[in-house]
């Protein structure tokens, strides 16, 4: 009895508070993940999904997908996609955040408007960009041609290399507001006095940026990059609507390839193996994120 | 320390919720399927015409609800199906049939998800190359002794058959032919092409300005494969022999059309519907497309002068056999479902559906009376005897994927015909276990 009482004192009571959420998560998140891991160790295909023996085959599916050129390609595509998106989203988002931190007329209004891409349903954005990037009637070719940058229309979505550029551009557009808002919030935490005294000491704008803003923003920047990585790495709908992984599989990401294996080609176990690799990578990045935020709290 | 543990736990769960969407691709689709199932009760058909009560088709032990899934997006198709369902519901009071539209892009996924969650309708109307996969999965009822298909064409029946057992009823068939814009061909001074060389020539001559000479849907999926395979069959080769003289020749022919500038590369992103829209907008002089487009074309552009002809050939005449099959879900309301199928395939009802949808009946006794005096449809009916089926093979989707990848590589210039053919063949052989 004493034990029970002492258990509920102080910090331990917190465990009780998170119990409902924990139970919910175990059921709706934990169960699918575990069930997916089990699926990936079996040989489930079209012939035994409903009836028939689901044989345990260990890591054979994983070995098979790592020997599959298409998987390696999808992995490379996903990395290219993620890194390219992150770099540009972050740089543009950072510049915009700095801009909006100046209190000019309408700065708040305009900052609000830049949130639109983030709020727009992904499918709508994807269809819009698909239309804009089309070869003969697309506005992007029209602008480039009018400006004299290109002579012949670029076949954006029907040429493997440029299709990747097109989906990356679309995703950068979507991700900029996320970066802008988080960095803006980070900027407001830096005391204005620091800049004032630095100015008195004769620091120029560049020195103020590199010596005050960047170091103090470090925790924010780390969070933005890690969260951005997680969001970008698992993008699915944008690519599915814009290119369906094509042309000739050049824009397949791990997410779209996993879907294709499972639902177009009926190779359920292989599809889930690909999804699990995706999951594992994100789990590692997620743990990195936790480590960073923990350090921040301890400092 | 404890704080840290707590924080770790909470953040781990937050993270997991972010990841859940991708981790659960195949494993936990049950909630989605359930919500779909509740939605489908929304449109309960009303009994309208109760006048003709002759021949109530329901057998004595058939009763209850029957749900149908289908994927036709054309409003005319949906209305035709709805019409016969209402008629059926009005004729008898034991069975109530309802239909639910599932978009084509989601159809296979919904069936797979439904199969693993046990949330399936009683009848599905599905694309015939997919039939064998689901029959092999075991979700379709064996109706060998319960439905008579002896008067049906062998090609469509074959697509419902697996290991000698009948797992469905052909709904109706369609095939592909060459559509051409009469004005554009006349302006370029061209005759209707009959061979590949002539097609290339006419396509090149009719290409100018925004107009491309020729296109077919070349999507990297089943739809694209359907439109590409007639080239291969025309050389005398089968779907499983891509790395062959004929297969490579077909790919090279595709390449020559693209290189001549007569075939838009963007066709790799066009559905058959998109291709038809390009044609009726005057952006295409010729296209390959199917029977089912005719009703739409006649109502959309009644003044446009277009006609149809057999697909230009290499060695022999060939076309693709398309169409849907009815399948009865095993363990559902099988008796009720079969009672509805008996009714839906009876002559008058079947003719009503076929005529409104622009399909050719798979029942030869009905088909021979269809489209009498309609020259355009007659071309399709004649082409039926040269129409090849895809599969049937449970792994057909994988074969199809390999083939569509090959012609996409050739059209986009990613690799040459020989290399693309060799790659496709390697995949096909590994699937067939050679």
Contact (CB, 8 A) for B123 and B328: yes
CATH number, residue B140: 3.40.190.10
Report pLDDT digits (tens) over B68-120.
Answer: 999 998 888 899 999 999 999 999 989 999 999 998 878 888 998 888 888 89
Q: Tell me, yes or no, whether B330 lies in a domain.
A: yes
Model pLDDT, residue B61 = 66
CA B13 – CA A23 distance, rounded (Å): 11
Residues of chain A in contact with residue B412, where contact means CB-CB under 8 angstroms, are 158-160, 247-248
Kindly list the distances between the CA atom of residue A95 and the CA atoms of A140, A170, A228, B362, in Å, as whole numbers in the listed order: 24, 19, 17, 65
Q: Which of residues 189-228 of A touch B (CB under 8 A)?
A: none
For B209, which residue in chain A has the nearest alpha carbon? Answer: A136
For residues A194, A196, A202, A203, the Cα torsion angle rounded to the nearest 10 degrees is 50
Question: What are the residue boundaries of the structural domains of chain A, listed by start?
Answer: 63-298
The answer to whether residue B55 scores a pLDDT higher than 60 is: no
**pLDDT over 80 at B17, yes or no:** no
Q: Tokens standing for B133?
A: 């996969």
pLDDT average, residue stretch B352-377 = 86
Question: Strand B284-290 vs strand B169-181: parallel, antiparallel, or unpaired?
Answer: antiparallel
> Do B93 and B125 fall into the same domain?
yes
Do the chains contact at A258 and B25, CB–CB below 8 Å? yes
How far is residue B198 CA from its own chain's centroid? Answer: 29
Residues B314, B220 share a domain: yes
Cβ of A234 within 8 Å of Cβ of B21? The answer is yes
**Do B307 and B326 belong to one domain?**
no
Lowest-confidence region among A14-28, B21-35, B102-116, B290-304: B21-35
Is B243 a member of any domain?
yes
Shortest distance, CA B217 to any CA of chain A (angstroms)? 14
Number of CB pairs, chain A paired with chain B, less than 8 A apart = 175
Nearest-Cα residue of chain A relative to residue B136 = A47
Q: How far is A266 from chain B (nearest CA, A)?
A: 8
Residues B275, B413, single domain; the answer is: yes
Q: Do B108 and A263 touch (CB under 8 A)?
A: yes
pLDDT for position B249? 96
Quick: pLDDT tens for A81-108: 999 999 999 999 999 999 888 878 888 8
pLDDT in tens, B238-260: 999 999 999 999 999 999 999 99
Q: What is the pLDDT of residues A152-171, one digit of tens each?
A: 889 899 888 899 999 999 99
Is B26 inside a domain boundary? Answer: no
Average pLDDT over residues A246-262: 92
Contact residues, chain A, for B405 at CB < 8 Å: 248-249
Nearest to A259 among B25, B115, B268 (CB): B25
Q: Is there a contact between A259 and B401 if contact means CB atoms under 8 Å apart? A: no
Same domain, B243 and B285: yes
Question: Which pLDDT belongs to residue B384?
Answer: 84
Domain check: are B204 and B299 in the same one?
A: yes
B47 has a pLDDT exceeding 50: no
A35 → chain B, closest CA residue: B27
Q: Are residues B259 and B335 in the same domain?
A: no
Taking CB atoms and an 8 Å limit, are A11 and B23 in contact across chains? no
Nearest chain B alpha carbon to A273: B23
Interchain contact, A244 vs B133, CB within 8 Å: no
Whether B15 maps to a domain, the answer reads no
Cβ neighbours of A286 in B, within 8 Å: 12, 15, 18-19
**Which percentage of chain A shows pLDDT scores above 90?**
55
pLDDT at B30 over 50: no
Q: Assess whether the previous peptide bond of B84 is cis (omega < 30° from 0).
A: no
Pairwise CB contact (< 8 Å): B265 & A135: yes
Chain B: residue whose CA lies nearest to A18 = B10
Q: Which CATH superfamily is domain A63-298 in?
A: MetI-like (1.10.3720.10)
Neighbours of B101 (CB within 10 A): 17
Tokens for B396, please give them: 């057909």
B242 inside domain: yes
What does the H/E/C string look like for chain B? CHHHHHHHHHHHHHHHHHHHHHHCCCCCCHHHHHHHHHHCCCCCCCCCCCCCCCCCCCCCCCCEEEEEEECCCCHHHHHHHHHHHHHHHHHCCCEEEEEEECCHHHHHHHHHHHHHHCCCCCEEEEEHHHHHHHHHHCCECCCCCCCCCCCECHHHHHHCEECCEECCEEEEEEEEEEEEEHHHHHHCCCCCCCEHHHHHHHHHHHCECCEEEEECCCCCCHHHHHHHHHHHHHCCCCCCCCCCHHHHHHHHHHHHHHHCCCCCHHHHHCCHHHHHHHHHCCCEEEEEEECCHHHHHHHHCCCCCEEEECCCECCCCCEEEEEEEEEEECCCCHHHHHHHHHHHCCHHHHHHHHHHHCCECCEHHHHCCCCCCCHHHHHHHHHHHHEECCCCCCCHHHHHHHHHHHHHHHHHCCCCHHHHHHHHHHHHHHHHCC
What mean pLDDT comes out for the span B171-177? 91
Domain tally for chain B? 2
Are the CB atoms for A243 and A160 separated by under 8 Å?
no
Indicate the range of A112-126, A183-197, B17-31 predicted with least confidence: B17-31
B335 and B397 belong to one structural domain: no
The reply to whether B167 and B180 lie within a common domain is no
Q: pLDDT tens digit string along B106-120?
A: 888 899 888 888 889
Which among A157, A158, A275 has CB closest to B22? Answer: A275
pLDDT value, residue A4? 66
Task: Examine residue B48 and state whether it is found in any structural domain, yes or no.
Answer: no
- Answer yes or no: do A234 and B22 touch at CB < 8 A: yes
- Read off the pTM: 0.79
What's the pLDDT at A296?
64
Is B108–A264 a contact, with Cβ atoms under 8 angstroms apart?
yes
Q: Which residue has the tokens 């689709």?
A: B29
A13 touches chain B (CB under 8 A): no
Q: What pLDDT score does B44 carry? A: 38
Confidence of residue B410 (pLDDT cuts 50, 70, 90): very high
* Residue of chain B whose Cα is closest to the Cα of A135: B266
d(CA A75, CA A70): 9
Do B241 and B164 lie in one domain? The reply is no
B7, A160: Cβ pair inside 8 Å? no
Identify whether residues B159 and B208 lie together within a single domain: no
Residue B163 and residue B367: Cα distance in Å, rounded?
27
In chain B, residues with a C-beta closer than 8 Å to the C-beta of A134 are: 266
Nearest CB neighbour to A275, from listed B2, B25, B221: B25
With contacts defined as CB-CB under 8 Å, which chain A residues touch B139? Answer: 50
For residue B130, what are the contacts with CB-CB under 8 A and spacing of at least 6? B108, B222, B396, B397
Q: What residue numbers bound the domain in which B422 lies?
A: 176-319+392-432
Whether residue B169 contacts residue B345, with contact meaning beta carbons closer than 8 Å, is answered with: yes
Q: Per-residue pLDDT for B54 more than 80? A: no
In a domain, B147, yes or no: yes
Query: Do B117 and B218 fall into the same domain?
Result: no
Burial of B117 (0-12, 13-18, 19+ CB in 10 A): middle
């Amino acid at each position: 009895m004493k034990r029970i009482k002492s258990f509920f004192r102080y910090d331990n009571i917190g465990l009780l508070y998170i119990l409902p959420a924990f139970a919910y998560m175990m059921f709706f998140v934990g169960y699918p993940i575990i069930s997916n891991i089990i699926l990936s160790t079996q040989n489930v295909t079209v012939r035994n999904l409903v009836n028939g023996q689901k044989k345990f085959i260990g890591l054979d599916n994983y070995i098979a997908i790592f020997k599959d050129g298409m998987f390696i390609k999808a992995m490379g595509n996903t990395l290219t996609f993620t890194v390219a998106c992150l770099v540009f989203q972050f740089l543009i988002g950072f510049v915009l955040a700095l801009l909006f931190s100046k209190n000019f007329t309408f700065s708040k209004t305009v900052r609000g408007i830049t949130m639109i891409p983030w709020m727009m349903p992904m499918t709508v954005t994807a269809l819009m960009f698909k239309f804009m990037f089309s070869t003969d009637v697309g506005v992007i070719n029209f602008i480039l041609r009018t400006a004299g940058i290109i002579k012949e229309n670029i076949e954006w979505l029907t040429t493997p290399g440029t299709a990747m550029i097109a989906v990356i551009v679309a995703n950068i557009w979507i991700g900029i507001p996320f970066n802008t808002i988080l960095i803006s919030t980070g900027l407001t935490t830096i005391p204005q006095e620091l800049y004032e005294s630095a100015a008195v000491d004769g620091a120029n704008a560049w020195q103020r940026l590199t010596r005050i803003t960047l170091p103090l923003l470090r925790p924010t920047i780390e969070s933005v990059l890690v969260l951005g990585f997680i969001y970008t790495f698992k993008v699915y709908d944008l690519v599915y609507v814009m290119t369906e992984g094509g042309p000739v599989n050049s824009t397949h990401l791990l997410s779209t390839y996993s879907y294709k294996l499972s639902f177009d080609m009926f190779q359920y176990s292989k599809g889930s193996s690909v999804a699990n690799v995706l999951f594992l990578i994100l789990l590692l990045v997620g743990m990195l994120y936790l480590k960073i935020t923990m350090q921040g709290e301890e400092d | 320390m404890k704080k840290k543990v707590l924080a770790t736990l909470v953040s781990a769960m937050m993270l997991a919720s972010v990841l859940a969407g991708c981790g659960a691709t195949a494993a936990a689709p049950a909630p989605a399927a359930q919500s779909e199932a509740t939605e489908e009760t929304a449109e309960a058909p009303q009994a309208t015409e109760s006048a003709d009560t002759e021949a109530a088709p329901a057998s004595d032990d058939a009763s209850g609800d029957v749900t149908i899934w289908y994927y036709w997006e054309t409003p005319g198709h949906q209305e035709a199906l709805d019409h016969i369902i209402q008629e059926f519901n009005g004729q008898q009071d034991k069975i109530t049939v309802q239909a639910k539209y599932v978009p084509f892009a989601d159809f296979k996924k919904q069936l797979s998800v439904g199969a693993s969650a046990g949330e399936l309708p009683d009848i599905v109307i599905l694309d015939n190359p997919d039939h064998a996969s689901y029959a092999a999965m075991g979700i379709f009822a064996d109706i060998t002794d319960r439905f008579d298909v002896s008067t049906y064409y062998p090609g469509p029946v074959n697509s419902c058959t697996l290991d000698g057992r009948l797992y469905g009823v052909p709904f109706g068939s369609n095939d592909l032919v060459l559509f051409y814009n009469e004005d554009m061909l006349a302006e370029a001074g061209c005759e209707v092409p009959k061979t590949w060389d002539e097609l290339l020539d006419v396509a090149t001559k009719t290409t100018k300005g925004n107009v491309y000479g020729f296109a077919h849907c070349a999507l990297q999926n089943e739809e694209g494969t359907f439109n590409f395979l007639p080239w291969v069959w025309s050389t005398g080769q089968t779907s499983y022999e891509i790395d062959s003289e004929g297969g490579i020749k077909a790919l090279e022919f595709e390449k020559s059309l693209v290189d001549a500038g007569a075939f838009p590369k963007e066709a790799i992103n066009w559905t058959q519907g998109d291709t038809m829209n390009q044609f009726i907008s005057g952006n295409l002089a010729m296209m390959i497309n199917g029977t089912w487009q005719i009703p739409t074309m006649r109502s959309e552009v009644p003044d446009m002068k277009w006609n149809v002809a057999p697909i230009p050939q290499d060695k022999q005449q060939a076309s693709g056999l398309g169409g849907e099959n009815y399948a009865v879900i095993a363990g559902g309301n099988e008796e009720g479902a079969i009672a509805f199928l008996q009714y839906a395939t009876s002559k008058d009802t079947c003719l009503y559906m076929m005529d409104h949808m622009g399909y050719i009946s798979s029942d030869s006794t009905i088909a021979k009376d269809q489209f009498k005096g309609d020259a355009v449809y007659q071309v399709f009916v004649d082409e039926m005897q040269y129409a090849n089926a895809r599969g049937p093979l449970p792994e057909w989707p994988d074969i199809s994927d390999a083939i569509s990848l090959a012609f996409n590589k050739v059209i986009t210039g990613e690799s040459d015909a020989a290399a693309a053919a060799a790659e496709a063949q390697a995949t096909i052989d590994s699937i067939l276990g050679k």
